[in-house]
Structure 1
Amino acid sequence: MFEIGFSIYSSSGRDINTQILDRVWDADFSYAFTSLHIPEEATPELRQEQHDLLQSLRDLDVNVMADIGPRTLSDMKLSSFEDLSMYPITHMRVDYGFNLEQMAKISEHCILVVNPSTFAEEDFFTLLELGVKRDRIVACHNFYPKEWSGLSLKRVSDSNRFYKNQNIKTMAFIAGDAQKRGPVYQGLPTVETMRHMAPLEAALKLREEAFTDVVLVGDIDLTEKSWEDMIALSHGYVILPCTLDPEYKHLYGVIQHDRIDSSDFLIRSLESRMYASRGHHVEVVGATHIGRGTILISNEDYSRYSGEFEIARTELSDCPRKNRIGQVSTDALYLLPYITHGMGFMLVEDLDN
């Protein structure tokens, strides 16, 4: 399962947040992030609106993770973290200003979220000695508003690897590609090289190259295309623009999956394998000039494999027992390495080509 989260801030205004909630209703997003300690979110005027907003998310069965600081309780006129746990919050993220005993206390009321790039490994084991259960801990990186201040992908990967080995869920942020959050307006990613990267590519990289379980959008909003991409990803597939020969247009809009025993050279459709095994008849044409993203179907010279649907990940030699039936769009070729081991994909017609 590919878990996706988003960020929501009461200071963004009721209209924007209502639009986000409407989108979440149609999506399968698991987490929402908000902050309770930055100045623009901690005003008394926004407190009730913030509570109502978070309650709406909980009503949608979304886990709510709130960033808290040492002054959060006083800013919110609360006396204890137990009082704060009465807020519609499931996860409290602490980064600085808390000792281990306070963190252990927080874990009694909410899931404790630590920063894996700053929280020492020995402190993690001390938390366990203090009685905190592993299933009460999550590791979530910061986002970095200022350009050139973000982490390297290797740094995120290295710190996440430790927590994954401890059976702790890991999270990181990607930047949005529509409305950026102020006051800097330069995107809110964890990894610096992802600051201007398409959200889908950034999410896939974090998942596949940095041991990240949950990808959170740090900014306020996404473009329409990126919303569609993230919703698809939350359902376990990617949208793959392409062109198909007219007789194969019935494959548009169909979710297929790469086989679990994935090939380094081809994406092999699990679903087509099922009907190919029944002897699907495909006339022999042969395929030449097989390059990255060439869409293929096995013809009757492949006997019982006739009808098996494939996408080339790389350049391959000519094959008379396969027919070329289409091509993945150039802008989508970067997706091919990520469609592995049961990952889903849906072909859609590229109307720009």
Structure 2
Amino acid sequence: MENGISIYPGLDNTLAQNLQLIQQAAACGIRRLFTSLHIPETDPGRLKKELAQILKAARRCDMEIISDISPATMELLGIREFSPSAFRMLGITTLRLDYGFGLEEITALSRNRQGIRIQLNASTITGKILSALVELHANFGQIDALHNFYPRRGTGLSEEFLVRKTSMLHKLGIRTGAFVPCAQGRRGPLREGLPTLEEHREEDAGLAARHLVALGIDSVFLADSLPSMRELQAIAALRDDAIVLQGRMITKDPVQQQLLRHTFTARADEARDAVRAQESRSILKQFGADISPDHTDPRPAGAITIDNRNYRRYMGELQIIRNAQPADPRVNVPAVISQSDQKLIPYITPGRKFSFLFD
């Protein structure tokens, strides 16, 4: 996944903090940087002084630089005429068109030859706008989208709204991103987090990001000013090919531990009481190993189970329990999904990939 950080020159952080954040993010493998050049509370003098150094540092780390712009950005940056080449010279590689741009202008920008990508506002896009861009023959190969973040408490998007807008964009092959807040280093002036989804405002950034992936989001950005190293690592570790659930390992059996490190596919014939892994028995056969009875405990919702040798040909069957079940001497409980991550289980629909992340 192409995930990113956010930096706001002229706001909370010092230049040194921003430059350090770029280095830390790059060291984690993060290669996208979002910045906004029209936040009302920004100190214009500081922004002009710091921006060139920030962009230079990001370019050295081979980062895609996404700038949220409006026509007012031109005056702020001292650019006389709006053109992709002017931003390219600054090192900005993607322009997020927030407001003030007409459909024909967006279409023309999507065809630029300077290698500048165009980013739509995924939260305000409509079917009418997309249909018009299709009719105008916009170059969708050079367009992606990014949802808004929402500084004021109570104004973030609902899950249903985000899924609907994202699905509309995906139908045209437009990859779509969204934001998660950080626990500390929250951006001013409100300092109440910058989530896309309101339910993420006080949620752990890693869990919020994995929730967005489960909802079909293609890239996740840490929205706040100064994320922790743990948050940077969580974003860098995201995968778009599987729903990842964090849990606690119980078993000390190396065979079961090895099996639990694989990525699985939910079976097409969905069970009422559990998510069943399609490949787990065949993977175990490749090991040429045997599973002994081990932790044959009651199976609460969120338990990860593996059938042992007493279940005969089902040995190696891996499940995530949806509805609690009693203990069975044929079924091991080698691990359990954390309480917070159990909210992700319903998204493991037939055919979806899933894997586990253990502390």
- TM-score above 0.5, yes or no: yes
- Pick which of 42-51 and 96-105 moved more: 42-51
| Stretch of structure 1 that moved more, 28-37 or 62-71 | 28-37
Deviations 1:181-214 (A, max 9, x none): 01111111122232222223322333333x4222
- The structural deviation recorded for 1:88 is 1.3
Q: Which residue number corresponds to residue 234 of structure 2?
A: 229
Q: TM-score, normalized by length of structure 2?
A: 0.82
CA distance in 2, matches of 1:235, 1:24: 19
Equivalent residue runs for 1:144-155 within 5 Å: 144-155=150-161
In the alignment, is residue 343 of structure 1 matched against residue 354 of structure 2? yes
Question: Is 1:42–1:75's contact at 8 Å kept on the other side of the alignment?
Answer: no
1:216-245 CA distance string (max 9 Å, x none): 221113344433322222486746231413
Asked whether the equivalents of residues 299 and 324 of structure 2 are also in contact (C-alpha less than 8 Å), the reply is yes
State the partner residue of 1:291. 300
Residue type of the alignment partner of 2:217: T
1:28-47 equivalent positions in 2, closer than 5 A: 28-39=29-40, 41=42, 43-47=44-48
- Offset of 1:45 from its aligned partner? 4.2
Q: Is 1:95 the counterpart of 2:94 in the alignment?
A: no
- The residue type equivalent to 2:358 in the other structure is L
Q: 2:246, 2:356 within 8 Å by CA — same for their partners in 1? A: yes
Structure 1 counterpart of 2:275, from 263, 266, 274: 266
Q: Deviations over 1:39-90 (max 9, x none)?
A: 5557244335312322332333332210111111121111222312322122
Matching residue of 1:10: 9
2:310 corresponds to 1:301: yes
Q: Give SS of 2:343's match.
A: helix
Q: In 2 relative to 1, CA 274–36 (structure 1 residues): closer, same or farther, beyond 3 Å?
A: same
Partner deviation per Cα, 1:105-129 (whole Å, 9 max, x = no partner): 4331422212233344333333344
CA-based RMSD: 3.1
Where does residue 204 of structure 1 map in the other structure?
210
Q: Does 1:104 align with 2:115?
A: no
**CA shift in 2, pair 1:256/1:269, >3 Å:** farther
The verdict on how the C-alpha distance between 1:282 and 1:343 changes in structure 2, with shifts beyond 3 A counting, is: closer
TM-score by length of 1: 0.84
Residue 217 in structure 1 maps to residue 222 in structure 2: yes
Rounded Cα–Cα distance in structure 2 between residues aligned with 1:285 and 1:191: 41
Paired AA for residue 106 in structure 1:
L
Q: Where does residue 246 of structure 2 map in the other structure? A: 240
Question: Quick check: 1:280–1:307 contact (8 Å CA) kept in 2?
Answer: no
| Structure 2 residue identity aligned to 1:333 | Q
2:19 and 2:288 map into 1 onto residues whose CA distance is 52
How far residue 215 of structure 1 moved from its aligned partner, in angstroms, is: 1.9
CA contact (8 A) 2:71 2:100 kept: yes
Contact 1:291 1:316 in 2 (8 A): yes
Mark the CA change 1:346 to 1:94 in structure 2 (over 3 Å): closer, same or farther. Answer: same
Alpha-carbon distance, 1:291 to partner: 1.5
* 2:5–2:32 CA contact under 8 A, matched in 1: yes
**1:294 Cα deviation after fit:** 2.5
Shift of 1:104: 3.0
Q: Percent identity?
A: 27
- The reply on whether 1:185 has 2:184 as its aligned counterpart is no
C-alpha separation in 2, matches of 1:226 and 1:239:
16
Query: Hey, what's the Cα distance between the residues in 2 that align with 1:295 and 1:126?
Result: 48
User: Unaligned regions of 5+ residues in structure 2, if any?
Assistant: none
Which segment is superposed worse, 221-230 or 174-183? 221-230
Residues 247-275 of structure 1, C-alpha deviation per residue, up to 9 Å, x if partnerless? Answer: 45983897421235466513638577423
The alignment covers a number of residue pairs equal to: 346
Is contact 1:153–1:191 with CA below 8 Å preserved after alignment? yes
Equivalent residue for 1:127, pick from 129, 133, 141? 133
Residue 280 of structure 1 aligns with which residue? 289
| Counterpart contact for 1:104–1:130, Cα < 8 Å | yes
Give the 3-state SS of the residue equivalent to 1:85 in structure 2: helix
Query: Aligned letter for 2:88?
Result: S
Single out whichever of 66-75 and 21-30 deviates more from structure 2: 21-30
1:68 aligned partner = 69
Partners of 2:179 and 2:8 in 1: CA distance:
15
Deviation at 1:169, TM superposition (A): 1.4
SS at match of 2:225: coil
> Which amino acid in the other structure matches residue 173 of structure 2?
N
Whether the 8 Å CA contact 1:94–1:112 is kept in 2: the answer is yes
